[in-house]
Structure 1
Amino acid sequence: MRRVHLFELEDQTWFPKTIRDAGTDFLRFVAEVAKPYRAVFPRLRKALIASGSQNILDLCSGGAGPIVAIQNDLAGSGCEILVTMTDKFPNRTAFEHARRRSAGKVNFVDAPVDAAAVPPDLSGFRTLFTSLHHFRPEEAKRILQDAVNRSRPIGVFEMTRRSFLPIMAIPVLPVALLASTPFIRPFRWSRLLWTYLIPIVPLFITWDAFVSCLRTYSVKELGEMVEGLNCEGYTWEIGVDAAWPSHVSYLIGYPS
């Protein structure tokens, strides 16, 4: 299936923040319940140790995604890591909730952060969880090159797939959203409004999920990105790990 870079509502500057935050809150809820990234957890842990990283700089964090659970799992495995969340459109309420839940071990940057031009004072092992597909190929390469230029390790993980089966499963998402919304935290009255009374969030989630699948990079395309980088002295790992029901593609790079 050919990659098609249609627009995602979440990426638009004009898209209402309240609705965007409701969507990213739901995606975090799904990540915490389904735990799709457990497929790549051993690989991430190994890369953190190999690169000597003491902290994670999470880019494009959305509604905090899986990062609190990952930090907790790392700590449980004897790998004590602090996390800093960033985003172009920071979901501050969700970020503050994540900080409280993690007892401060997951913190955040309040200002917008461009994943392709990370401020030099923000250090750590850079991660992107199901967010690289938001960027066109040249933009994605700039994200990787920026990490290399700063000698920062980076890990990209995508649970979406550009194939028919995941696309056919998308209609399940709005049903799951309607069923789970009362249980999503932090609680927001606005989420109930835009989910049930004026059901924009289900439409938004369905459209963006469909587009995300079409935008997701294949392992071959990730490899081509790396080949186009000026990255001498870097070790790269690219592939797919599976742990039912998820298949997570990964691209990991760190100074040799």
Structure 2
Amino acid sequence: MALPLPIPPLRLFEIDDQSWFPAPFRAFVQAGLTFFWEYKAPILQPVSPASLVARTLQTVLGPSITDHTFVDFCSGAGGPTPFIEQEVNKAFKKLSDGGNILVRNGDTGVNGHVNGSGDGGRGGGVDFVMTDIHPHLPEWVKASNKSKNLHYVPSPVDAANAPHDLLSMAGTQEKNKKLFRLFSLAFHHFPDPLATRILHNTLTHSSGFAIFELQGRDLGSIFTILGMFPLLWVGSWYWFWGDWGLLFWTYVVPVVPFVLVFDGVISSLRTRREGEVLELIRECGASLDGWRFETGREVHTWTGGTMNYFIGIKEAGRKKIQ
């Protein structure tokens, strides 16, 4: 159970965000975060968090998912974007082959199927683009080389002032493709003034966006995050065998598990709830004509971990939200 904490979002600091935190340690921590996006713990997790994000996008957008190019604005060292791209395009391939796509029926968590009938001439898949204000080119090049649908923008991209030609900068500009922005485990990092500017830019210059957080401001999330420490202690020797630096700073001096757990708890306390995001949207001053919003949460770990999402989609002819 979520058991929400009766406190406002707290603007506390995370160690990994600090300029004084050594770059090698940051790389180890980001490697751990990336691993947990892809990992599915036996019994405790029905699917990996990245698969859950992909499934949510498929459910909310439906067939129109192929109308969009998805741009992750805080990709870091790659994060979940390559895994989300894989999951979405696996489903796209099944659809284009006339097969069935596994989706969720609303918020029930029950699996259902949507019959595919070909890709309708929509092209060779759904494109994803990695961006960040501090590009991680070696990791992005390596990831993008594994998929024709995964791209990156090599220059810094500020989510509050994104270039209008962002898709062409990534080499993904296609006729009739819409820009859909992703903020995966990132939006809680932005203080309110910056978050408001990012939302204004997003609502003004895109056709959709999704905020995904793997934690909430609740006891279930904190309990799940605390469980990461013993999990890392037990499993790192197997998961990261050969990465001797990471293993040293996990077992000899446990910097990596400490920072992951500490920052995870702080992330929970910083995470905004649906109404708080909507309030920032109303305050940002952008036109809301045509926009509709969907929110929800999905269990990613049975110990109390939930993925919270806030998705906005711009639809022609829709009345302004009051």
Matched, 1:71 2:116: no
Supply the AA of the counterpart residue of 1:87. Answer: D
How much has 1:210 moved relative to structure 2? 1.0
Q: Does 1:162 align with 2:217?
A: yes
Contact 1:129/1:156 (8 A) holds in 2: yes
Q: Using the alignment, how far apart are the partners of 2:297 and 2:39 within structure 1?
A: 19
Deviation at 1:69, TM superposition (A): 2.1
What is the Cα deviation at residue 226 of structure 1?
2.0
Q: Is 1:81 aligned to residue 94 of structure 2?
A: no
Unaligned ranges ≥5, structure 1: none
Is 2:104 the counterpart of 1:98? no
Verify the 8 A CA contact 1:151 1:254 in the aligned structure 2: no
Q: Structure 1 residues 55, 149: CA separation in 2 closer, same or farther (over 3 Å shift)?
A: same
- Which of 181, 188, 205 aligns to 1:150? It is 205
Please list, as runs of the form range in 1=range in 2, the aligned pairs for 1:1-256 lying within 5 A after superposition.
1-2=6-7, 3-34=9-40, 35-45=48-58, 46-47=60-61, 49-50=63-64, 53-78=67-92, 80-100=125-145, 102-123=146-167, 124-184=179-239, 188-229=243-284, 230-245=286-301, 246-256=305-315
Equivalent pairs, count: 255
Shift in Å, 1:21:
1.6
Distance 1:37 1:118, change over 3 A: same
TM-score by length of 2: 0.70
CA RMSD of aligned residues (A): 2.6
Is the CA contact (8 Å cut-off) linking 1:25 and 1:94 kept in structure 2? no
Decide whether the 8 Å contact of 2:293 with 2:313 is kept in 1: no
2-side partners of 1:106 and 1:48: how far apart? 21
Change (3 A) 1:250 1:186: farther
Q: Runs of 5+ in structure 2 lacking a partner?
A: 1-5, 41-47, 94-124, 168-178, 316-322
Question: Cα distance, 1:187 vs. partner?
Answer: 6.0
The structure whose Rg is larger is 2
Q: Distance in 1 between matches of 2:160 and 2:201?
A: 6
**Which amino acid letter does the alignment assign opposite residue 4 of structure 1?**
L
Does the CA-based 8 Å contact 2:72-2:181 persist in structure 1?
A: yes
Residue by residue over 1:162-197, the C-alpha shift from the partner in whole angstroms, topping out at 9 and shown as x without a partner, is: 011221233221222233434557964432333233
Q: Which has the higher contact order (CA 8 A, sep 6+)?
A: 1
Greater helix proportion: 1
Instruction: Look up the equivalent residue of 1:110 and give its one-letter code.
Output: P
Q: Work out whether residues 155 and 253 of structure 1, in 8 Å CA contact, stay in contact via their aligned partners in 2.
A: yes
C-alpha separation between the residues in 2 aligned to 1:92 and 1:16? 19
3-state DSSP of counterpart to 2:164: coil
Larger deviation: 58-67 or 46-55?
A: 46-55
Q: Mark the CA change 1:91 to 1:243 in structure 2 (over 3 Å): closer, same or farther.
A: same
